[in-house]
């Protein structure tokens, strides 16, 4: 057992803190937001994440997990290891990662580090390359070691990803003695994980910082690639789902992350590809990652494409049409609506004149708070009533399991745009629906361009 601190109780930090406590460590987790600390201390998760509530309660009950407002916790200085898990959101001005919270956390930490403990500061946040070295330059003279240990957790799978990650990366000092000491302490923390033979990669700090952004940029590229193929399928009569399956059997390609649709969103992928571009520009190699601009453009294009598709399949167009959007969160099993393609599509439909109602099993409180102008339906049946078009925007299990007969009895017109290619189209066809997928050969791009409404839509 080791005493550790976690600084920042957002998505990453709160899950990390509870997961570390579940491994048997004594954890003090701090955050500047008193409300968040109150909620977590009372065992109430501030976000939806399967499995989190259980390990949070376990940790609190065991007495190994405590939460405190930053600056009010004297025991912080007793921690051997301090995990930095504060947010590094995209700056609205420059597109770069905003490091304000990280800098403030490090200022606080610098005041409590005790050199006799030889503490280790472990960065988990996603940061521009060079940040870890800057922290090391500042904290090493105070007797601390700095390691970059990126986190690859996916929302909706955060607990499992933290306790059973695909790999563990330590970005260490170039000084062999410092590196060996820090790696040894981190190995002790991760002993249970390492016993599962999870690969552990020891490298320098810039590599560790880049690994995280590279992984997210690669995933984003994979999604935009398949969405480009979806466009090709639309103009040629191909089916992107079959195409993805066929290329996915090649182990060099792999089937995962080849689901075409309205594209990626969330707190990581969009931010990280933009941050990587900004860094490349600053480092004078912007052309090296120029393709990421294209990845971003293709991704945003998916959102406008689905709206054009919706416009085209509605007799009379979108103006005044009652549209029910199923899904608001950026992915299922999460209440996160940050940069959500689903929500963006809903707003674009509103701008196109549609009368939109948004349904979501988990995300509506966040939608109501941030988009009070958007009409939501907390009751699915009411949300679907009299709809003239249904758009599936987030592939929640509840929506995939909907009975098309039942839905057909509620709506005014049986047309569904499947923005995630996630529905069993034969089942919906059998129930008399017009099912329009993304890149499923239903709809010729030229038909939309020519304004030939409905041409190419398979019944």
In the complex with ligand UDX, the residue whose CB is nearer, 19 or 269, is 269
Q: Euclidean distance between the first and final Cα of the chain, in Å?
A: 62
Q: Between 145 and 264, name the residue whose CB sits nearer to ligand UDX.
A: 264
- Distance of closest approach, residue 17 Cβ to ligand UDX, in angstroms: 17
- The one among 253, 257, 280, 368 contacting ligand UDX by CB under 6 A: 257
Residue span binding ligand UDX (CB under 6 A) among the ranges 150-158, 189-197, 232-240, 422-430: 150-158
Q: Which of 25-33, 58-66, 90-98, 258-266 is the region at the interface with ligand UDX (rule: CB under 6 A)?
A: 258-266
User: Minimum CB separation from ligand UDX for residue 269, in Å?
Assistant: 5
Candidate list 265, 404, 419, 437; residue touching ligand UDX; CB under 6 A: 265
Is 9 a catalytic site residue?
no
Nearest distance in Å: CB 228, ligand UDX: 13
For residue 187, the number of C-alpha atoms closer than 13 Å in the C-beta half-sphere is: 13
Binding residue for ligand UDX, selected from 57, 154, 308, 427, defined by CB under 6 A: 154
Q: Which stretch binds ligand UDX (CB under 6 A): 43-51, 106-114, 146-154, 443-451?
A: 146-154
Select 119 or 341, whichever has its Cβ closest to ligand UDX.
Answer: 341
- The reply to whether 153 sits near ligand UDX by the rule CB under 6 A is yes
Nearer CB in complex with ligand UDX: 155/296: 155
Helix (H, G, I), strand (E, B) or coil at 97: strand
* Alpha carbon distance 264, 303 (integer Å): 10
Q: Say if residues 33 and 12 touch (Cβ distance below 8 Å).
A: no
| 399 interacts with ligand UDX by CB under 6 A | no
DSSP assignments along 223-238, one per residue: HHHHHHHHHHHHHHT-
**Is 259 a residue that touches ligand UDX (CB under 6 A)?**
yes
Quote the least distance from Cβ 394 to ligand UDX, whole Å.
7
Least distance CB 366 / ligand UDX (angstroms): 15
Closer residue to ligand UDX, CB minimum distance, 119 or 263: 263
CA separation for the pair 84, 205 (Å, rounded): 15
Q: Is 152 in the site for ligand UDX (CB under 6 A)?
A: yes
| Neighbouring-strand partners of residue 28 | 5, 66
Residue among 336, 14, 332, 259 nearest 151 (CA): 14
| Window 266-295: residues binding ligand UDX (CB under 6 A) | 266, 268-269
Q: Distance between CA atoms of 270 and 275, rounded to whole angstroms?
A: 9
State the binding string over 196-225 for ligand UDX (x if CB under 6 A, else -): --------------------x--x---x--
| The two three-digit tokens of residue 54, written as one number | 């259980």
Considering the candidates 9, 233, 268, 362, report the single residue annotated as catalytic: 268
3-state secondary structure of 141: helix
Nearer to ligand UDX, 22 or 221 (CB): 221
Question: 323 to 382, contacts with ligand UDX by CB under 6 A?
Answer: 330-331
Backbone phi and psi for residue 144, each to the nearest 5 degrees, phi listed first: -105, 160
Rounded CA-CA distance 19/56 in Å is: 8
Contacts of residue 441, defined as CB under 8 A and 6 or more positions apart, other chains included, come to: 233, 234, 236, 237, 238, 239, 458
The burial class, CB within 10 Å (0-12 / 13-18 / 19+), for 83 is buried
Q: Please answer whether residues 224 and 231 qualify as being in contact, where contact means their C-beta atoms are separated by less than 8 angstroms.
A: no
Residues 381, 383: Cα–Cα separation, whole Å: 5
- State the residue for tokens 């599936």: 392
Cβ closest to ligand UDX, residue 85 vs residue 258: 258
Q: CA 455 to CA 449: how far, in whole Å?
A: 11
Give how many residues touch ligand UDX by CB under 6 A. 19
- Output 79 or 193, the one with its CB closest to ligand UDX: 193
Among the candidate windows 52-60, 148-156, 189-197, 444-452, which touches ligand UDX by CB under 6 A? 148-156
The secondary element (H helix, E strand) that includes residue 83 is: strand 81-84
Options 31, 49, 145, 155; binder of ligand UDX; rule CB under 6 A? 155
Task: Put the strands of the sheet holding 355-359 in their side by side order.
Answer: 355-359, 322-326, 389-392, 415-418, 434-436
Task: Report the sign of the C-alpha dihedral through residues 244, 245, 247, 250, in that order.
Answer: positive
The stretch near ligand UDX (CB under 6 A) out of 259-267, 367-375, 401-409, 433-441 is 259-267
Binding site residues, ligand UDX, CB under 6 A: 152-155, 216, 219, 223, 257-259, 261, 263-266, 268-269, 330-331
Residues annotated as catalytic (active site), given as ranges: 268
């Amino acid at each position: 057992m080791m005493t550790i601190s976690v600084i920042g109780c957002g998505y990453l930090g709160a899950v990390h803190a509870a997961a570390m406590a579940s491994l048997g460590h004594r954890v003090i987790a701090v955050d500047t937001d008193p409300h968040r600390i109150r909620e977590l201390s009372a065992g109430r998760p501030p976000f939806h994440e399967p499995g989190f509530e259980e390990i949070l309660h376990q940790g609190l009950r065991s007495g190994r997990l405590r939460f405190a407002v930053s600056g009010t916790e004297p025991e912080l200085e007793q921690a051997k290891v301090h995990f930095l898990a504060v947010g590094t959101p995209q700056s609205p001005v420059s597109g770069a990662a905003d490091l304000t919270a990280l800098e403030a956390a490090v200022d606080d930490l610098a005041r409590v580090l005790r050199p006799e403990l030889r503490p280790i500061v472990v960065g988990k946040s996603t940061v521009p390359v060079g940040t870890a070295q800057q922290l090391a330059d500042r904290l090493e003279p105070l007797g601390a070691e700095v390691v970059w240990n990126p986190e690859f957790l996916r929302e909706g799978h955060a607990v499992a990803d933290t306790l059973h990650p695909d790999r563990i990366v330590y970005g260490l000092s170039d000084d062999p003695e410092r590196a060996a000491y820090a790696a040894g302490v981190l190995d002790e923390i991760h002993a249970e994980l390492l016993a599962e033979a999870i690969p552990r990669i020891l490298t320098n700090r810039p590599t560790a910082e880049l690994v995280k952004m590279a992984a997210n940029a690669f995933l984003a590229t994979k999604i935009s690639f398949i969405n480009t193929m979806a466009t090709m399928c639309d103009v040629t009569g191909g089916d992107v789902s079959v195409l993805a399956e066929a290329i996915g059997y090649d182990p060099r390609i792999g089937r995962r992350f080849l689901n075409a649709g309205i594209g990626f969103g969330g707190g990581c992928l969009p931010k990280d590809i933009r941050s990587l571009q900004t860094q490349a520009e600053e480092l004078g190699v912007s052309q090296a990652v120029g393709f990421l601009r294209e990845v971003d453009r293709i991704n945003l294009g998916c959102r406008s494409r689905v709206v054009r598709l919706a416009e085209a399949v509605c007799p009379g167009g979108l103006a005044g049409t009652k549209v029910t959007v199923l899904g608001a969160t950026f992915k299922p099993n999460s209440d996160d609506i940050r940069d959500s393609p689903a929500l963006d599509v809903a707003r674009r439909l509103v701008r196109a004149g549609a009368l939109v109602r948004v349904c979501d099993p988990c995300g509506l409180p966040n939608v109501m708070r941030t988009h009070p102008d958007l009409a939501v339906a907390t009751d699915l049946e009411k949300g679907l009533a009299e709809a003239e078009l249904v758009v599936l925007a987030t592939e929640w299990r509840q929506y995939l399991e909907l009975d098309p007969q039942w839905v057909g009895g509620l709506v005014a017109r049986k047309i569904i745009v499947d923005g995630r290619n996630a529905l069993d189209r034969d089942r919906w066809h059998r129930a008399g629906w017009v099912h329009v997928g993304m890149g499923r050969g239903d709809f010729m791009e030229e038909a939309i361009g020519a304004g030939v409404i409905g041409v190419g839509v398979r019944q």
